Structure 1
Amino acid sequence: MIMNALGALALVTEPPNDDLMKRSPVKRRGKLISNVMWRNILGQSFYQSMVIWYLQAKGKAIFCLDGPDSDLMLNTLIFNSFVFCQVFNEINSREMEKINVFKAMQENYFCVAVLSGTVLFQIIIVEFLGTFADTSPLTLAQWSLGIFIGFLSTPIAAGLKMINVGAT
């Protein structure tokens, strides 16, 4: 809920740019989701599904997790990786067709604040709300891996944007 509500707010507060004025208006019966959006949605969904599946299948071996809390630790790692995939996907979604998604991001203070808030909430949930949120505190290496997995969605998004699907 935090990611969806705050993410939507961050994206709708993007200041208008000249490129928006060059686009033709969407017809009354036009598509709600364009081909470009479908390309990005399907590409990111595939990446995130593969990452989560791989972590679920091989995560205990990769992280040498054993013992009574190994399932909780693995689920926390998967949850953390998923959240950071969403954080970076929000950044990637700022520009549907341009590669440089970080351009002028610092000028939209609300977007930066929302993304920072999302990361802060994630830290609080994982590190301090263990029993309530059914999470386990992570090591610095585990945090770094979750952030890295999320960050990998950025070059994947750049690669997806090179696939021409037409404007509609």
Structure 2
Amino acid sequence: MARCSPDVKLLFVQALKQSGEMVAVTGYVTEDAHALHQADIGLAMGIRGTEVAKESSDIIILDDSFATCVKAFKWGQSVHANIIKFMQLQLTVNVVALTTNFMAAVFYGCVPLNAVQLLWVNLLIVALVPLSLVTKPPADELMPGLLVKPGQPPKRYVKWKRLLVQVLYQIVAILIINFQGRSLLKSYNRGHAIKVKNTMIFNTFVVCQIIHQMEARKMDILSKPKMWITSNYLFMGMAGTILTSQFIIIEFLGKAFSTVALNQKEWQFSLTLGFVE
């Protein structure tokens, strides 16, 4: 269809859209403007393309190469996949936090995760998770992936079984810590034991989110661990920064975050529960 008349090209685009297809059109002359504008995605050529064609398009291919189109589609698929992963992470964090605090408020009359702690967790999710996702280059296996159609509800892309399993695990981990809190009464008075238990819940909750981020980037993490680490230095640095910050918060910023310092066994217990996810 590249050499057909502009009217035929426009008719072809309209017919495809009416049949429910996603249409991408390339063009560089002024006569292609109508088809570029009518298509879902218009790709104008940056070197040979006229100003009218560029104004009517969505993407400008600066080097006039169709190989660049493939790269553009690959990055588009990667961005969409990362948005879905971010949404999955955000849903898991919110469901676990709300469920934990609701159950604790109903059965115990207090909440283990306070506003400052939830603010810190949301800072991790909102600021550091997107950074960790965008540093991952697009993979070739994304190309034959799920077609993204306009107007599709986000819930269609959420992996509900995985979300349910992760939510259940984190809630069970918190219940295990709550059960373990009874043994803390042997070492501490009741008030301090409750603070230690809540600190362990907060610590495990944060570690679970780090592991959750790692799970979102799990490509070759088990089959090729050395290659995975070397190709994810920035992400590993972010995860290390979060863990270091978490240690500083618990050990030295207890007043601000309503936490208490943990001993070695308590750290091991909460970290183990987090890493098992």
Paired residues of 1:10 and 1:110 also in contact (CA < 8 A): yes
Tell me the CA shift for residue 31 of structure 1: 4.3
Task: Describe the superposition over 1:97-122 as per-residue Cα deviations: whole angstroms up to 9, x where unpaired.
Answer: x7838562431222112111111110
Shift of 1:123: 0.6
Q: Which residue of 2 aligns with 1:163?
A: none
Matched with 2:233 is: 109
The residue aligned with 1:86 is 209
- Whether 1:2 and 2:126 are equivalent positions in the alignment is no
Map residues 46-125 of structure 1 onto 2, 5 A cutoff: 46-56=168-178, 58-63=179-184, 64-67=186-189, 68-95=191-218, 100=222, 104-125=228-249
Aligned residues: 151
Query: CA–CA distance in 2 between the matches of 1:44 and 1:26?
Result: 26
Q: TM-score, normalised by structure 1?
A: 0.78
> Which of the numbers 22, 26, 38 marks the counterpart of 2:144?
22
Which residue of structure 2 lines up, in the alignment, with residue 137 of structure 1? 261
Structure 2 unpaired stretches of 5+:
1-121
Equivalent position SS for 2:159? helix
Distance 1:33 1:13, change over 3 A: farther
Relative contact order: is structure 1 or structure 2 higher (C-alpha 8 Å, sep ≥ 6)?
A: 1
Amino acid at match of 1:25: L
Provide the secondary structure at the position in 2 that maps to 1:104. Answer: helix
Q: Deviations over 1:128-164 (max 9, x none)?
A: 10111111111122111111101111xxxxxxxxxxx
How high is the sequence identity, in percent, across the aligned residues?
30
1-structure distance, mates of 2:234, 2:213: 13
Shift of 1:55: 2.0
Give the strand-richer structure, 1 or 2.
2
Higher Rg of the two aligned structures: 2
Alignment RMSD (CA, Å): 2.4
Change (3 A) 1:95 1:22: farther
